[in-house]
Amino acid sequence: MAITSINSYPSTTSTVSGSATTQTKENETSKNTSSAADSTGVVYEKGSTDTSAAKTETKATNSALVAKLKADSESRLSQMRDIVTKMMTKQGAAIGTADSMWRFLAGGNFTVSAAAKAQAQADIADDGYWGVEKTSDRIVDFAKALSGDDPEQADKMLEAVKKGFKLATKSWGRDMPDITQRTYDAVVDKFDKWKNENKTEETAATEDNK
């Protein structure tokens, strides 16, 4: 079933969210310090209001995207937990913490209905919601939205992602299946591409100006 990706995604997004919140506070402190230092020589620049409005609009868009991703993820997770809980109850397994549920599934000592198996296979297929590509895309999109799509924050966001995967592995209680490792590799690759976006654009611009 799509348990590995489902477990990794919420742990990862939660950790990334915390990292982004810390970075936002650091940026606000820096801005306040710069504002105080420049208060004796303010220079009006035409279009500054438009720039501020654009930043506000971008922030609102990012916040909406984060909310959408979180709501979508929570809905999918709720559906999966409901299926797993019913399955555990029917098979006489005690339901304790979330970790106990993941460890129960990791143990493999259970049976699933044909319908549940078919749904899980569809979910983790190449074009499925919990497939490698879509899951890695959502993680990177989430990180971009939280950081204001700032490539300079990519390394910090990636560290949060790595922490999230470690937490997911701990909850699973053993080495993750292949799909989780492939998802992790895809996430790292997409973060590298995001981080190097500006460098690629700058290189192209330099070549055009020669």
pLDDT tens by residue, 84-128 = 777 777 777 666 666 667 777 777 777 888 888 898 899 899 999
How far, in Å, CA of 81 to CA of 198, rounded?
41
Q: 98-115 burial, b if ≥16 CB within 10 A, otherwise e?
A: eeebbebbbeeeeeeeee
How far, in Å, CA of 63 to CA of 55, rounded?
12
pLDDT tens by residue, 6-43 = 445 556 666 666 655 555 555 554 444 444 444 444 44
How far, in Å, CA of 90 to CA of 104, rounded?
14
In the chain, where the domains are located: 1-6+62-196
| Stretch 76-82: mean pLDDT | 78
How far, in Å, CA of 100 to CA of 92, rounded?
14
Specify burial of residue 33 (Cβ count, 10 A radius: 0-12, 13-18, 19+).
Answer: exposed
pLDDT tens by residue, 45-66 = 444 445 566 556 666 667 887 8
